[in-house]
Amino acid sequence: MAHKFNPNNKKKLDNEWRRENLPPVETLEKLGLKPGDVFADIGCGIGYFTIPAAQMIGNNCAYALDTLSEMLAEVELRSTAAGVKNIEIVKTAELDLLIPDESVSFGLMVNVIHEIVDKNQFLEEISRIIKPGGKLAVIDWEKGETEMGPPIDHRFGKEELTAMLKEIDFECQETMKFTENFYGLVFSKK
Ligand SMILES: C[S@@+](CC[C@H](N)C(=O)[O-])C[C@H]1O[C@@H](n2cnc3c(N)ncnc32)[C@H](O)[C@@H]1O
């Protein structure tokens, strides 16, 4: 059984440690998000990345996708406070992202894959929403000892993820690190 994030811990998603390890704007720039992208934050949590991404892409849509209403309520509050108007909030189902086929040019998934039981089907669903030639960027915990983070056996390694995505025609274009704690991968959909 995969371990699901407890919404009572939502403060863990925006604090000083996280801003040092994954500064939101610099992280999105490093992953290659560009003005004009249509963005989807898959498992967006409280919108830590969704809100700066929406500001970076201009007037296009930034989808905030999550299965938990508590998280999406926080995205609503934070985006209103920031005056950001191009976020579409969608309460998704476990294996259904509920947005149109090939509607996204840049998908982001940060610290989500280890929570998914049926990873193959979830990745297929992500493929459905991404345009041919579009990108999927993934950040997750390195599968090794780090100063913080979930138990190692709950983590999902970059090699395994790359192999699964290759099976469904995503080519890994870039591999990067964010401090010692996180890997970043950028895939392109054929
Ligand atoms: C650890 S949090 C990360 C949140 C955000 N990506 C961030 O980095 O700030 C994981 C999030 O994934 C969401 N999640 C888990 N399973 C999901 C699924 N099947 N579809 C969409 N979101 C999911 C959880 O509700 C939670 O908000």
CATH of the domain at 89: 3.40.50.150
Taking the centre of ligand 1 as the mean of its atom positions, its distance from the CA of residue 43, in whole angstroms, is 3
Of ligand 1's atoms, which has the minimum distance to the CA of residue 95? 19
Spatial separation of the C-alpha atoms in residues 123 and 120, rounded to whole Å: 5
The residue whose C-alpha atom lies closest to atom 1 belonging to ligand 1 is 111
Closest alpha carbon to 165 in 119, 131, 134, 115: 119
User: Does 8 fall in a domain?
Assistant: no
How many Å lie between the centroid of ligand 1 and the Cα of residue 52? 17
Q: Report helix, strand or coil for 10.
A: helix
Answer yes or no: is 182 within a domain.
yes
Tell me whether residue 22 is in a domain. yes
Q: How many CB atoms lie within 10 A of CB 10?
A: 16
The model carries a pTM of: 0.98
User: Is 10 among the domain residues?
Assistant: no
Asked whether residue 2 is assigned to any structural domain, the reply reads: no
Residue 9 to residue 1: CA distance in whole angstroms? 20
Token representation of residue 61? 């849509």
Task: Select from 67, 118, 183 the residue to mutate for testing ligand 1; criterion: most ligand atoms less than 8 Å from CB.
Answer: 67
**Digits of tens for pLDDT over the chain (190 positions)?**
678 889 999 999 999 999 999 999 999 999 999 999 999 999 999 999 999 999 999 999 999 999 999 999 999 999 999 999 999 999 999 999 999 999 999 999 999 999 999 999 999 999 999 999 999 999 999 999 888 888 899 899 999 999 999 999 999 999 999 999 999 999 999 9
Q: Is residue 9 part of a domain?
A: no
Give the atom of ligand 1 at the shortest distance from the alpha carbon of 13: 9
**Which atom of ligand 1 is closest in space to residue 65's alpha carbon?**
21
The number of folded domains in the chain is: 1
Q: Which domain holds residue 139?
A: 16-189
In a domain, 20, yes or no: yes
Q: What 8-state DSSP symbol labels residue 115? A: G
Q: How far is the CA of 181 from the centre of ligand 1 (A)?
A: 18
Asked if 62 and 41 count as a contact pair (C-beta separation under 8 A), the reply is yes
> What local confidence, expressed as pLDDT, does residue 1 receive?
62
- Res 29: pLDDT: 98
**Residue 6 located in a structural domain:** no
Task: Locate 58 and state its tokens.
Answer: 């201009």
pLDDT computed for residue 132 by the predictor: 98
Burial class (CB in 10 A: 0-12, 13-18, 19+), 82: middle
Choose the residue to mutate in 19, 98, 115, 181 for probing ligand 1, maximizing ligand atoms within 8 Å of C-beta. 115
Q: What are the start-end ranges of the H helices in the chain?
A: 16-21, 24-31, 50-57, 69-82, 119-129, 158-167
For residue 108, which atom of ligand 1 is closest to its CA? 6
